[in-house]
Amino acid sequence: MKRRIEMATLQGSYLFPEIEKRKNAYLVNYPEAPLISLGVGDTTEPLPTLVAEAMGEYARGLGARESYSGYGPVEGWISLREAIADRLYQGRVAPDEIFISDGAKCDLGRLGLLFGQEARVAVQDPAYPAYVDASVIMGQGGTFNGRGYSRMRYLSCTPENGFFPDLEGADDIDVAIICSPNNPTGAVLKREELERLVSWARQRRVTIVYDAAYAAYIADPDLPRSIYEIGGAHEVAIEVGSFSKLAGFTGVRLGWTVVPDRLRYEDGRSVQADWRRPISAYLNGPSNIAQAGGLASLREGWGELQEGIAFYRENALILRRRLVELGVKVYGGSNAPFVWAHFPGRNSWELFDQLLSKAHLVTTPGAGFGPAGEGFVRLSAFSSRERIEEAAGRLAALFEA
Ligand code: MLT
């Protein structure tokens, strides 16, 4: 068969497998190296007991005729949609605007189907690499020009602009993918910043895809956890949420997408009605076992869940504090599970190699998230306390030396 031009246009390999490859290559030469991973944001701590029990019970029920069940509703269990609307959105969105899925990443990819190949998609720079790869695979990328893709728009987010996406010159975009708390920078959009973004989108008829996968890490009550806390957002924004970092479901797979009823195409037709088509075509609803766990997370497991989030949040603060003590300029880490460390003038892949070989720490090089990530490395807080403390000690030994 003929290879699709879009596949040929993709650059290199996806970031996290590339890091895995480099880590494994290092281990071939130094098999005894006591590596600590602060790379991919993958949860490490056990699930809340009540959540694991709910999933176990559901799975056991599948083994008995009386309690066996097959497909669930394509948009997910109504009980779970109600729990999300209530617990996470305080009624700002209705249960029937919420579509449960097999994960935020899967939905972020499928959303491209709504916008089509002609859409001009903007991402923050730096950004979670799945946004760019999914857009290019969809055919929205154009050609690669050495720095980025010709048809995509990159909204620079740097310490100089307070990590607020640079909207200057971004006049021709149809869709803007915005992530807050941000992966990788850990920056969180303030209420007035989000208001500015929503008002810009309304004026320019831009649809915002708001990735709020890390919203649970916001500790500051003044910071918005959802774009729907902003007036007028229901008319321009789709929000994607995840149980991965909220409940430790990275391997369980469960997420959701909010498509508000008020979000309309130019001709007044319902975007929500259209969204049912790709999810019906690609998904027979999410796993029932995962949904049982999701429901328990928002009900009986909620208290334990908060402890888990506080634990990773403290991990981020430990890393952040240590880097600050060492005189490294750091961002994020206080309302986000990622610490974004700045080493001006340094090549971030070289920093990655140095941290790997000299401190046995696996990190993520900032340049892997886009050109504006050069000079940065990202440290993930998803690890045990013992490892985080050990990692903080190794950072001190490396940078004090
Ligand atoms: C990351 O490390 O950027 C994310 O955790 C990866 C993911 O969610 O796919």
Cβ atoms of 135 and 84 within 8 Å: the answer is no
Q: What is the CATH number of the domain that holds 73?
A: 3.40.640.10
Rounded to an integer, what distance in angstroms lies between the CA atom of residue 103 and that of residue 107? 7
Please give the distance, rounded to the nearest whole angstrom, from the Cα atom of residue 277 to the centre of ligand 1: 27
Q: Are residues 176 and 74 in the same domain?
A: yes
Largest CA distance in the chain: 66
CA 140/CA 115 separation, integer angstroms? 9
Nearest Cα to Cα of residue 50 among 304, 243, 311: 304
370-398 average pLDDT score: 97
**Which pLDDT band, with edges at 50, 70 and 90, does 208 fall under?**
very high
**β-pair partners for 158:** none
Quote the ligand 1 centre to 107 CA distance (angstroms).
14
Mean pLDDT for the stretch of residues 79-84: 98
pLDDT band with cut points at 50, 70 and 90 for residue 13: confident
Q: Which residue from 315, 351, 359 is spatially nearest to 34, judged by alpha carbons?
A: 359
- Quote the ligand 1 centre to 39 CA distance (angstroms): 9
At position 228, the amino acid (one-letter code) is Y
Residues 6+ apart with CB under 8 A from 121: 112, 115, 131, 135, 140, 151, 152, 153, 173, 174, 175, 176, 177
Please, which pLDDT band fits residue 217 given cuts at 50, 70 and 90?
very high
pLDDT in the model for residue 339: 98
Q: Which of 250, 282, 298 is where one domain is finished?
A: 298
User: What's residue 159's pLDDT?
Assistant: 97
Handedness of CA 354, 359, 361, 363 (dihedral sign): negative
Residues 293 and 317 placed together within one structural domain of the fold: no
Q: Are strands 361-362 and 36-37 parallel, antiparallel or unpaired?
A: parallel
Residue 244 CA to residue 204 CA, distance in Å, equals 33
Nearest residue (by CA) to ligand 1, atom 1, is: 41
Out of 18, 23, 42, give the residue to mutate to test ligand 1, the one with the largest number of ligand atoms within 8 Å of its CB.
42
Is pLDDT of 401 > 80? no
* Per-residue pLDDT at 15 exceeds 90: no
Domain encompassing residue 135: 52-298
Closest C-alpha among 176, 178, 185 to residue 152: 176
Residue nearest to atom 9 of ligand 1 (CA): 105
Ligand 1 pocket test: pick from 108, 131, 244, 340 the residue with the most ligand atoms within 8 Å of its Cβ: 244
Q: What is the CATH number of the domain that holds 377?
A: 3.90.1150.10
Total domains present in the chain: 2
Cα(1) to ligand 1 centroid in Å equals 32
How is 105-164 classified by DSSP, letter by letter? HHHHHHHHHHH-TT--EEEEES--HHHHHHHHHHT----B-SSSBTT-EEEE--TTTTT-
What's the gap in Å between 40 CA and the centre of ligand 1?
6
Using the mean position of ligand 1's atoms as its centre, give its distance from the Cα of residue 213 in Å: 10
Q: Which residues line ligand 1 (CB under 6 A)?
A: 40-41, 105, 128, 183, 380
Please say if the pLDDT value at position 122 is more than 90.
yes
pLDDT in tens, 231-265: 999 999 999 999 999 999 999 999 999 999 999 99
Give yes or no: residues 37 and 177 share one domain. Answer: no
User: What's the whole-number average pLDDT of the chain?
Assistant: 96
Structure-token pair, residue 263 = 């979000």
Query: 148-165: per-residue pLDDT in tens?
Result: 999 999 999 999 999 999
Omega into 286 within 30° of 0, i.e. cis?
A: no
Q: Which of 11-20, 98-107, 197-206, 343-352 has the lowest mean pLDDT?
A: 11-20
Q: Which of 298, 326, 359 is the last residue of a domain?
A: 298
Q: What is the mean pLDDT of residues 191-219?
A: 97
| Average pLDDT, integer, range 341-360 | 96
Same domain, 311 and 175: no
The three-state secondary structure class of 281 is: helix
Tokens of 329: 């300029």
Mean pLDDT over 173-189 rounds to 98
| Boundary-marking domain end, from 261, 276, 298 | 298
pLDDT of residue 44: 97
